[in-house]
Amino acid sequence: MKMDHDKVLVLSPHTDDAELGAGGTIAKFLEEGIEIFYVVFSGCEISVPDGMAKETLREECKTATSILGLNSGRVSILNYPVRKFPEYRQDILDAMIQMKDRYLPNLILVPSSSDMHQDHRVICEEALRAFKRDSSIWGYEHPWNNLVFTTDIFIKLSKEQVEKKLASLRAYHSQSDKSYMSEDSILSLIRTRGTQLDVSYAEAFELIRMIY
């Protein structure tokens, strides 16, 4: 079945968020020729381990997105401070409105509406305000942050697309000690979503807005 959406804007609060929630889907869409723009709202300098350069996560994000197949010219990393997005809500909304006019996307990928992280919630809520008249909006899952999650949309993945997702996350060497970066955990979720379709692998999304 062909995707109705041909211009996708991926909104990632922090480096690695969108790869974790939608990395396989991004790889699949790119293989299908869908145009993707990828915006990260923070370079997460305060999350870099001691002894590493402050730009480490920015550089790891550039590597990770290139592994998925994204052209570097379609990847933007902004400068909002981690855990302080609520203080910059209006600025973030204004930036999203500029993205809407610049990229003309018809599908937006964001953290799910049930995500408890304050930065993730701001990105989801302001995306709905910015894009609700023009774009469908899907929420990707982060089980460690979600109170609940509705599996409204499933994207079937090939083994190769799953491997691209895993390889992209391996690029985040500075975050390898995080429990949510465990390949066993990531694969377990992908396989669970696949089991719900009787296939090997899948990613699931919450349907926040549908425009057809």
Each residue's pLDDT tens digit, 138-192: 999 999 999 899 999 999 999 999 999 999 999 999 999 999 999 999 999 999 9
How high is the pLDDT of residue 86?
98
CATH code of the domain made up of 7-209: 3.40.50.10320
How high is the pLDDT of residue 1?
47
List the domain boundaries for the chain: 7-209
- Mean pLDDT across 10-33: 98
How high is the pLDDT of residue 209?
97
Q: Is the pLDDT of residue 113 over 80?
A: yes
Please give the structure tokens belonging to residue 30.
Answer: 């790119």
**Band (2; pLDDT cuts 50, 70, 90):** low
**Amino acid residing at 172:** Y
Residue 64 CA to residue 165 CA, distance in Å, equals: 9
